[in-house]
Amino acid sequence: MSRLLIPRRKFLGLGALGLGAAALGFSGRPADAASFEELIAHAQSLTYGAQRLLGRNALAREFSAKDISPVFKVNGTHMPDTTEYEALLAGDFATWRLQVEGLVATPLSLSLADLHALPQRTQITRHDCVEGWSAIGQWQGTPLAEILKRAAPLPAARFVVFHCADFYERAADGTGQYYESIDLVDAFHPQTILAHSLNGEALSVGHGAPVRLRVERQLGYKQAKYVMRIELVERFDRIGRGKGGYWPDRGYEWYAGI
């Protein structure tokens, strides 16, 4: 906490904003529930709103240590092919900063040490890839909610976009950078974490070092690796090809529920 670059006074001042810091759990009082409900209701799109509200807190299944897969396949990008990423890796990510920006009251710039200093969560879950393989692994990281409540999303924010370091397939026009997005229901879900470790070890490059998203109720392609920047937005139309993710832009479902 002390290493977070946020003056405490800013935290205390958030109640003045429309959203209200209390809505995001700063006080933990039961009275907060109503305003949080309003926030979530606002975030729903009609296509899946009612369904998501009913099950918004349902947990993905968690497993025990004996279930952990001996091998967790690496899929998609194995190593981001940019000089920026190579430099970060060469310095063991000491200069890496996670940017949190867009529709937030308090933009953040967090080091790996900052993320480790926040509350942590460990979970053993199953990863399901659309290509037909699964693997069970133990993920450890910082709940996205802990980060977001410090950034304080503005009332207009509806989605959280994860911008990654890698180009899955770099097109001639420079597009092709990997990205993904989730709604605020998934963003504040207790199992949604920015993982820095797999099976007790710092993430390998293959699995998304230094941090990757785990959003456990959705398929593999939503689990963005090499997350560099988190952007809160109201809509997707100016990002990538406008469908909210690298694979959604190429015909896959944006909401990839399991």
Ligand X SMILES: Nc1nc2c(c(=O)[nH]1)N[C@H]1C(S)=C(S)[C@@H](COP(=O)(O)O)O[C@H]1N2
Per CB under 6 A, does 139 bind ligand X?
no
97 binds, among Mo ion, ligand X, none (CB under 5 to 8 A by kind): none
Per CB under 6 A, does 224 bind ligand X?
yes
Give the shortest CB-120-to-ligand X separation in angstroms. 19
User: Which 187-206 residues touch ligand X, going by CB under 6 A?
Assistant: 206
How many residues interact with ligand X (rule CB under 6 A)? 20
Which one of residues 85, 226, 236, 255 is an interface residue with ligand X (CB under 6 A)?
226
Give the shortest CB-213-to-ligand X separation in angstroms. 8
User: Which 182-221 residues touch Mo ion, going by CB under 5 A?
Assistant: 220-221
Give the shortest CB-131-to-ligand X separation in angstroms. 7
146-150 contacts at long range (C-beta below 8 A, 24 or more positions apart): 146/118, 146/119, 147/98, 147/100, 147/108, 147/110, 147/115, 147/118, 147/194, 147/230, 148/24, 148/100, 148/187, 148/188, 148/232, 149/21, 149/24, 149/25, 149/26, 150/4, 150/6, 150/11, 150/106, 150/108
Question: x/- string (CB under 5 A) for Mo ion, residues 124-143?
Answer: -----x--------------
- The angle subtended at Cα 88 by Cα 84 and Cα 89, nearest 5°, is 115
Per CB under 6 A, does 214 bind ligand X?
no
Cα distance between residue 167 and residue 172, in whole Å: 12
Burial label for 54, CB within 10 Å (0-12, 13-18, 19+), is exposed
Contact footprint for ligand X (CB under 6 A): 72-77, 129, 164, 166, 168, 178, 206-208, 220-221, 223-226
Contact footprint for Mo ion (CB under 5 A): 129, 220-221
